[in-house]
């Protein structure tokens, strides 16, 4: 760079991959600085590809959040894996997340192996959740990641430990990722933190609230659609109200009962939590109309999957 030119601006796409629950969504939110993707302690929370956008004077970093890649067991699982591979082909950098509190295992090997088939792609390893381990454990973890790279012929451009919880090394990670992006213009307007439509964000926030406190197979059985969303007409401009009409789909009657709870108590708690989250994200008071519907075995039914947007 010559001293008379302005510093180059970089822009590009980074995809986080990793086994379910590796901390990808939390990391996206930590880098963006705001909750743009939902997180939960239930594996396989992420289904749609939602982008978080990091704005800096020198760069624009667009984060593509993917579902956890795993051996598919259902049609939904297959669709999600296809989605991951399509994403890899399109991004500038693929960053694999390895939670520091779990030894890299067969699930991680499966992912890195699949990724090694994608040639000429910049690959980064991120050790997530470092706040959960001591320095010695972290050292072993980093060595295990390095070994896994060797074993699969994967050349890590960086191996970096971070904690989204404490914020440790998040700024450094952003710097490293920006350094790996090509020179390019700003791709999204200032202030845009995601390009997911508001309907999708609202549906995701409702799904997150519904996942809170449910166990076993139920989390995987929950899907949410937003039927209608819009500002209520004829309101005092000082008191706007956003109407959101949404449906929570489950696979069985018994699950419907669990979600609704005694005298509707659980559903109303879910509604309240989701409403507050949507209000925080979109900055307007919200009226949320929430229904629960049984879509029998939707995860295995192509027609229903299409209806639910997969």
Q: Residues annotated as binding site for GTP?
A: 18-25, 65-69, 128-131
Return phi, psi of residue 85, to 5°: -70, -35
Judged by beta carbon, residue 131 or residue 199, the one nearer ligand GTP is: 131
User: What distance in Å separates the CA atoms of residue 72 and residue 89, rounded to the nearest whole number?
Assistant: 20
**Least CB distance to ligand GTP at residue 201 (A):** 15
Kind and range of the H or E run holding 158: strand 156-161
In this structure, the dihedral spanned by the alpha carbons of residues 43, 45, 48 and 50, taken in order and rounded to 10 degrees, is -110
Binding-site residues from annotation: 18-25, 65-69, 128-131
Hey, is 306 helix, strand or coil? helix
Q: Which long-range contacts (CB under 8 A, 24 or more apart) does 140-149 make?
A: 141/98, 141/100, 141/103, 141/104, 144/103, 144/104, 145/98, 145/104, 148/104, 148/108, 148/109, 148/112, 149/112, 149/125
Judged by beta carbon, residue 93 or residue 260, the one nearer ligand GTP is: 93
User: What distance in Å separates the CA atoms of residue 22 and residue 67, rounded to the nearest whole number?
Assistant: 11
Token pair of 244, please? 């959101």
Judged by beta carbon, residue 114 or residue 243, the one nearer ligand GTP is: 114
User: What distance in Å separates the CA atoms of residue 116 and residue 158, rounded to the nearest whole number?
Assistant: 15
Judged by beta carbon, residue 44 or residue 113, the one nearer ligand GTP is: 44
**Least CB distance to ligand GTP at residue 63 (A):** 12
**Least CB distance to ligand GTP at residue 200 (A):** 15
Q: Which residues bind ligand GTP (CB under 6 A)?
A: 18, 20-26, 39-41, 43-46, 67-68, 128-129, 131-132, 163-165
**Least CB distance to ligand GTP at residue 8 (A):** 31
**Least CB distance to ligand GTP at residue 297 (A):** 21
**Least CB distance to ligand GTP at residue 55 (A):** 21
Q: Give the number of other Cβ atoms within 10 Å of residue 69's Cβ.
A: 24
User: What distance in Å separates the CA atoms of residue 125 and residue 154, rounded to the nearest whole number?
Assistant: 10
Judged by beta carbon, residue 149 or residue 161, the one nearer ligand GTP is: 161
Judged by beta carbon, residue 83 or residue 294, the one nearer ligand GTP is: 83
Cβ atoms of 42 and 68 within 8 Å: the answer is: no
């Amino acid at each position: 760079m010559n001293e008379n030119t302005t510093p180059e601006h970089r822009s590009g796409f980074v995809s986080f991959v990793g086994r379910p629950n590796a901390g990808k969504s939390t990391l996206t939110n930590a880098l963006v600085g705001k909750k743009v993707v939902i997180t939960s302690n239930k594996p396989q929370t992420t289904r749609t590809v939602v982008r978080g956008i990091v704005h800096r004077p020198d760069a624009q970093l667009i984060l593509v959040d993917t579902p956890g890649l795993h051996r598919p067991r259902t049609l939904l699982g297959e669709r999600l894996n296809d989605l991951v591979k399509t994403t890899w082909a399109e991004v500038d950098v693929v960053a694999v997340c390895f939670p520091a509190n779990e030894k890299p295992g067969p699930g991680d090997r499966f992912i890195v192996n699949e990724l090694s088939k994608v040639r000429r792609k910049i690959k980064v390893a991120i050790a997530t959740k470092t706040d959960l381990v001591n320095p010695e454990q972290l050292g072993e973890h980093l060595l295990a990641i390095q070994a896994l790279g060797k074993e699969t012929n994967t050349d890590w451009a960086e191996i970096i430990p971070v904690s989204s919880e404490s914020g440790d090394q998040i700024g450094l990670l952003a710097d490293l990722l920006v350094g790996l992006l090509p020179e390019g213009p700003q791709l999204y307007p200032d202030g845009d933190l995601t390009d997911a439509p508001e309907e999708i964000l609202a549906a995701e926030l409702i799904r997150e609230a519904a996942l809170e406190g449910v166990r076993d197979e139920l989390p995987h059985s929950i899907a949410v659609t937003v039927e209608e969303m819009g500002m209520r007409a004829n309101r005092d401009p000082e008191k706007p109200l956003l109407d959101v009409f949404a449906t929570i789909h489950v696979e069985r009657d018994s699950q419907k009962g669990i979600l609704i709870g005694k005298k509707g108590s659980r559903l109303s708690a879910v509604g309240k939590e989701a409403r507050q989250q949507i209000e925080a994200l979109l900055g307007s008071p919200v009226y949320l109309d929430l229904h629960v519907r049984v879509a029998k075995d939707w995860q295995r039914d192509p027609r229903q999957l299409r209806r639910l947007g997969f």
